[in-house]
Structure 1
Amino acid sequence: MFNIFSKSLLLALTIILCIGCQKNNNKSLPIYNPVDFNPVLVDETLQNKNHNHTVSNFTLINQNGDTITQEVYKNKIYVTDFFFTRCPTICPVMTDNMKLLQDKFINDSDIMFLSMSVTPNIDSIPVLRQYADEKGVIDSKWNVTTGDKKHIYQLARKSYFAVVDQGDGELQDFIHTPNFILVDKQKQIRGIYDGTDDNDINRLISDIKTLKK
């Protein structure tokens, strides 16, 4: 009787564990829309939008002087952030953590990275090239970009929601967050992470793997 009971208990525990594992394996990530963000980060025309948000097409220039558009990221999962090379506070930590992510997924061609300068008039191509070399950027994985400031401003306010509205895109208008934004192959936002926080970086790594499944 004891053996039958023990076997039944073991079977029940095994089933429970399998169900739990299946739930973890089937973990799905939310799809973020403008309404899910702090309104100060969202252009006022989009603050109440609660469905079907995708990031806009873009035209940027990377550390090699190459034009970077959505075509470069077509059918890719990517992480994006906003920074500037002269930032003495959060940007160095963010860049180090982006480098960590780059190295983590170095052999995965589905995963890429995109950084946009909020001071593109200062962050010229030569400046970005030097910055990329100093920070260990691998050109095929990670584009560190400059471009038209108002265009970047629009991307920040209407696509990725990572910059506080401070004006119309002039030199000192940008106050950016430490946010890393995870974008899926359908150009949907699937996660927001503090790019200076180790726990959030680990969560981001896990969520990238979830998207891969």
Structure 2
Amino acid sequence: MKSTSLFVWVIFLLSIALASCGPETIVDLGNESFTLFNSDSTEVQFPDDYKGKTTVISFIYTHCPDVCPAITANMKNIQAELDDTTNIRFVELTFDPKRDTPSTLAKYKKLYDLNDQFSLLTGSASEVDSLLNRLNIVAQKTQIDSLQQDSSEYFMNHSNTIYLMDKQGRIRTEYPANVVPPEHVSEDLQKIR
């Protein structure tokens, strides 16, 4: 009888310990820095400039014909789901720095009525690609028409991901960006905060 109650007690303690651990770190950016530009053309050191805040990160490009507007809408829904957005930032990083200049991102931000908690980031192609690679985000340029001569017209095949980054610059959780219910992200934000 004693061994059964001891076993139950050990299982109970293990379940409490596991429940209190919270999400694991997926990628640690804490000691890294990427030079990017916000939609107002100010230089941003990512993730350094977001340390001390919990950050919801998604990836878009402004010429996207389908999923990116849904991702942006879901980011707004996540923000609306939160009772308290103090010390929470929302970042949308472009897959397409060639076309998504700061001024293009500023127009996108205005079009989707994103408030000051949102940062839309771009940078040099090499810096953006380096960050995307570090985050295991896929973005590949594809021509609209294989016979097309105009190389400025293309789509991006890309990942569909939202990440939560904690105050130390660690990516802790990921979701399918355009379909994750906002309340799931909100619950995890509370745990990470």
Scaled by the length of structure 2, the TM-score of the pair is 0.75
Q: Secondary structure at 1:136's aligned position in 2?
A: coil
Unaligned 5+ runs, structure 2: 1-12, 142-151
2:81 maps to which of 80, 89, 104? 104
Amino acid at match of 1:133: K
Larger relative contact order (CA 8 Å, sep ≥ 6) = 2
Partner Cα separation in structure 1 for residue 133 and residue 34 of structure 2? 13
Q: Could you say which residue in structure 2 is the equivalent of 1:30?
A: 24
Q: Equivalences for 1:132-171 in 2 at 5 Å? A: 132-139=109-116, 141-158=117-134, 160-164=135-139
1:187 corresponds to 2:163: no
> Secondary structure in 2 aligned to 1:26?
helix
Aligned counterpart for 1:125 among listed residues 102, 111, 134: 102
Q: Is the 8 A contact 1:183 1:190 kept in 2?
A: yes
CA RMSD of aligned residues (A): 2.8
Bigger Rg, which one: 1
User: Structure 1 residues 165 and 122 mapped into 2: Cα distance closer, same or farther (>3 Å)?
Assistant: closer
Q: Structure 2: how far apart are the matches of 1:62 and 1:106? A: 26
After TM superposition, give the deviation of residue 86 of structure 1 in Å. 0.8
The equivalent of 2:190 in structure 1 is 209
Tell me if the contact between 2:25 and 2:170 (Cα under 8 Å) persists in the aligned partners: yes
Structure 1: which 5+ residue stretches go unaligned?
1-18, 34-52
| Deviations 1:26-50, CA, capped at 9 Å, x for gaps | 36112225xxxxxxxxxxxxxxxxx
Superposition misfits of 4+ residues, deviation over 4 angstroms: 22-25, 171-174
Aligned residues between the structures: 169
Equivalent residue of 1:143, what SS? strand
Of Structure 1 and Structure 2, the greater helix share is in 1
Measured in 2, the distance between the counterparts of 1:136 and 1:29 equals: 31
